[in-house]
Amino acid sequence: MVGIVGYGAYVPRYRIKVEEIAGVWGMEASRIKDSLLVEEKSVPSLDEDTTTISVEAARNALNMASEVDPHEIGAIYIGSESHPYAVKPTATMVAEAIAATPSLTAADMEFACKAGTAAIQACMGLVKAGYIKYGLAIGADTAQGQPADALEYTASAGGAAYIIGNSNVVAEIEDTYSFTQDVPDFWRREGADYPSHGGRFTGAPGYFAHVLGAARGMMNKLGTKPSDYKYAVFHMPNGKFPLTAAQTLGFVKEQLMPGMVVTKIGNTYSGSSLLGTAATLDIANPGDRILVTSYGSGAGSDCFSLTVTDAIVEKRGRSPPVSYYVNRKKYIGYAIYAKLRGKLRGFGE
Partner 1 sequence: MPQTAVPAHWRKYKERYLLLGMLCETCGKITFPLGSVCPNCRRAGKVKPVRLSGKGKVYSYTVIRAAPEGFEVFTPYVIAIIELDDGVKLTSQVIDCEPEEVHIGMPVQVCFRKIREEGKEGVICYGFKFRPADNSWKP
Q: Which residues are catalytic?
A: 81, 113, 235
The span from the CA of 199 to the CA of 187, in Å, is 12
Query: What is the smallest separation between the CB atom of 72 and partner 1, expressed in angstroms?
Result: 17
Closest approach of partner 1 to the CB of residue 286, in Å: 17
Neighbours of 32 (CB within 10 A): 18
Q: Report d(CA 215, CA 301) in Å as an integer.
A: 8
Other Cβ atoms less than 10 A from the Cβ of 282: the count is 20
Binding residue (CB under 8 A) for partner 1 from 20, 40, 49, 152: 49
Residue from 328, 331, 333, 335 that binds partner 1 (CB under 8 A)?
Answer: 328
Closest approach of Cβ 70 to partner 1, in Å?
10
Can you give the C-alpha Rg of the chain in angstroms? 19
For residue 90, which of 75, 115, 108 has the smallest C-alpha distance?
108
Q: Count of residues for the chain?
A: 349
CA–CA distance, 244 with 265 (Å, rounded to integer):
20
Q: Is 55 in the site for partner 1 (CB under 8 A)?
A: yes
CB of 113 to partner 1, least distance (A): 23
Contact between 160 and 9 under an 8 Å Cβ cutoff? The reply is yes
In the complex, what is the shortest distance from the CB of residue 279 to partner 1, in angstroms, rounded to a whole number?
A: 13
Q: Of 197 and 341, which CB lies nearer to partner 1 in the complex structure?
A: 341
CB contact at 8 A, 77 and 125: no
**Least separation in angstroms between CB 66 and partner 1:** 15
Cα–Cα distance for residue pair 326/271, rounded to 1 Å: 13
Of 84 and 205, which CB lies nearer to partner 1 in the complex structure? 84
> Is residue 51 at the binding interface for partner 1, with CB under 8 A as the rule?
yes
3-state SS, residue 124: helix
Is 192 among the residues that bind partner 1 (CB under 8 A)? no
- 47 touching partner 1, by CB under 8 A: yes
Separation of alpha carbons 24 and 8, rounded Å = 35
Range 6-35, binding partner 1 (CB under 8 A): 13
3-state secondary structure of 136: strand
DSSP element (H, E) containing 117: helix 115-128
Distances, alpha carbon 53 to alpha carbons 75, 137, 212, 328, in Å: 18, 13, 30, 15
Segment lying near partner 1 (by CB under 8 A), choices 96-104, 180-188, 205-213, 263-271: 96-104
75-94 binders of partner 1 (CB under 8 A): 84-85, 93
Put residue 336 in one of left, alpha, beta given phi > 0 → left and psi -120 to 50 → alpha: alpha
CB nearer to partner 1: give 44 or 165: 44
Order across the sheet with 40-43: list the strands.
Answer: 40-43, 14-17, 330-331
Please state the closest distance from residue 320 (CB atom) to partner 1, in A.
Answer: 4
Of the pair 44, 79, the CB lying nearest partner 1 is at 44
Number of residues in contact with partner 1 under rule CB under 8 A? 27
Quick one: 225 or 339, whose CB is closer to partner 1? 339
Nearer residue to partner 1 within complex by CB, 4 or 58: 58
- Using the rule CB under 8 A, is 46 a contact of partner 1? yes
Write out the binding residues for partner 1, residues 283-312 only, by CB under 8 A: none
The residues of the shown chain that bind partner 1, judged by CB under 8 A, are 13, 45-49, 51-52, 55-56, 59, 84-85, 93, 96-97, 99, 316-317, 320-321, 324, 328, 339, 347-349
